[in-house]
C-alpha cells in the first residue's frame, strides 16, 4: 500500500522552481507548494497564462518566462533565478506530430529531455536540496537510439518518440544521481510519474481519434489532476534517497497514492545512461558543473 491520504507538509522558507506551471500537473504542483508555504517560481512559456495561474494561488509566487524547448530561453532563465531548494522538471509534450525545436532537436526529446537536461546543469550550483524528474509509466516501452535521437533514419512514430523521451528522463535521473554521489554533493535526484491523470497533455497529437481516446481514457480510468500531482509533490518534499522513483500504488500504477515504484531494466542501464548523458552534453553545450 502507498501513503494513503498523504498530503505535503509545510514548506515554509523553501524555494521551488516548477517548469510548465501554467497548466495541468505543473499548475497543481505549484499551487499545492505555495499553499504549503513555499516560495514558488512558475517557469512558463506563456507569461500571461502564468500570471493568471499565479492569481489563482495563495502564497509567494513569482512568474518567470521559460521556453524549455529553446536553449537560449533556458540559459536566460537560469541566469536570473538565484538560489533555490528544489527544481521540478515537469514541463512536457506528448505524442505530437513530427517537428523540430529552434535548436534542431526532435520536438519531444528536445522538450521533455534536452531542455531539462540543460536547465538542470545550469542551475545545479544554485540548488540546495534536490532535482525532481517527472517521467511516465510509458517509459517501460520506450527505446533510446543514441545514433538516431532525432528520428532522422527511422520512420517517425509520435507515441514511440514520446516513450523514448520518457525513458530518457529516467536515464538522465540515473546518471545525474551517480554524478551527484561521485561528487559528494548533498543534492539528490529523484523521479516521479503521475500514472493516468486527466490533463490537456493528450490534446496535441494531431490525430483527432487518438486525442479523443487519450483524453477520455484518462478521465475514465485515471485521477483528477490534484491527485495525479501527489507523486511529484511526494518526490519533491519527502525525505527520500537519491534515484528513488515514485508512482501511484494502484493497479498498473494508473492511479492511487504515492509510493516507491520500479522502472524498466532499460531505465536502469548505466551504460546507456552514460551514453545519453554524453550525447546530451554535445547537443546542449552544457556539462555537469559539480
Active site residues: 162
The candidate with the shortest Cα–Cα distance to 166, out of 146, 202, 141, is 141
The HSE-up count of residue 159 (CA atoms within 13 Å, CB side) is 9
Retrieve residue 65's grid coordinates. Answer: 518566462
The DSSP element (H or E) to which 160 belongs, if any, is: helix 158-182
Q: Which residues contact 4 (CB under 8 A, 6 or more apart)?
A: 257
Q: Which residues contact 119 (CB under 8 A, 6 or more apart)?
A: 19, 66, 68, 74, 77, 78, 87, 89
DSSP reduced 3-state for 247? strand
Measure the CA–CA gap between 29 and 271, rounded to whole angstroms: 33
Beta strands in the chain (DSSP E): 15-19, 39-44, 60-65, 84-89, 127-134, 188-192, 245-248, 258-260
Amino acid at each position: 500500500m502507498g501513503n494513503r491520504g498523504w498530503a505535503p507538509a509545510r514548506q515554509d522558507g523553501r524555494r521551488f522552481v516548477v517548469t510548465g506551471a501554467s497548466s495541468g500537473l505543473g499548475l497543481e504542483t505549484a499551487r499545492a507548494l505555495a499553499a504549503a508555504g513555499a516560495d514558488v517560481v512558475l517557469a512558463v512559456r506563456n507569461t500571461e497564462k502564468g500570471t493568471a495561474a499565479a492569481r489563482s494561488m495563495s502564497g509567494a509566487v513569482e512568474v518567470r518566462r521559460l521556453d524549455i524547448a529553446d536553449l537560449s530561453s533556458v540559459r536566460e532563465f537560469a541566469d536570473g533565478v538565484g538560489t533555490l531548494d528544489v527544481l521540478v522538471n515537469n514541463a512536457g509534450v506528448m505524442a505530437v506530430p513530427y517537428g523540430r525545436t529552434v535548436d534542431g532537436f526532435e520536438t519531444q526529446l528536445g522538450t521533455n529531455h534536452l531542455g531539462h537536461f540543460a536547465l538542470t546543469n545550469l542551475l545545479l550550483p544554485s540548488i540546495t536540496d534536490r532535482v525532481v524528474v517527472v517521467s511516465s509509466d510509458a517509459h517501460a516501452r520506450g527505446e533510446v537510439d543514441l545514433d538516431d535521437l532525432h528520428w532522422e533514419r527511422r520512420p517517425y512514430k509520435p507515441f514511440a518518440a514520446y516513450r523514448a523521451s520518457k525513458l530518457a528522463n529516467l536515464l538522465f535521473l540515473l546518471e545525474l544521481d551517480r554524478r551527484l554521489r561521485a561528487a559528494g554533493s548533498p543534492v539528490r535526484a529523484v523521479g516521479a510519474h503521475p500514472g493516468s491523470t486527466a490533463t490537456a497533455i493528450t490534446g496535441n497529437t494531431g490525430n483527432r481519434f487518438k486525442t479523443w481516446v487519450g483524453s477520455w481514457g484518462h478521465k475514465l480510468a485515471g485521477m483528477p489532476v490534484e491527485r495525479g500531482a501527489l507523486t511529484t509533490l511526494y518526490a519533491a518534499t519527502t525525505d527520500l534517497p537519491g534515484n528513488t522513483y515514485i508512482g501511484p500504488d494502484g493497479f498498473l500504477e494508473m492511479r492511487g497514492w504515492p509510493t516507491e515504484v520500479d522502472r524498466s531494466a532499460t531505465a536502469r542501464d548505466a551504460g546507456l545512461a552514460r551514453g545519453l548523458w554524453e550525447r546530451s552534453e554535445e547537443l546542449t553545450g552544457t556539462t555537469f558543473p559539480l
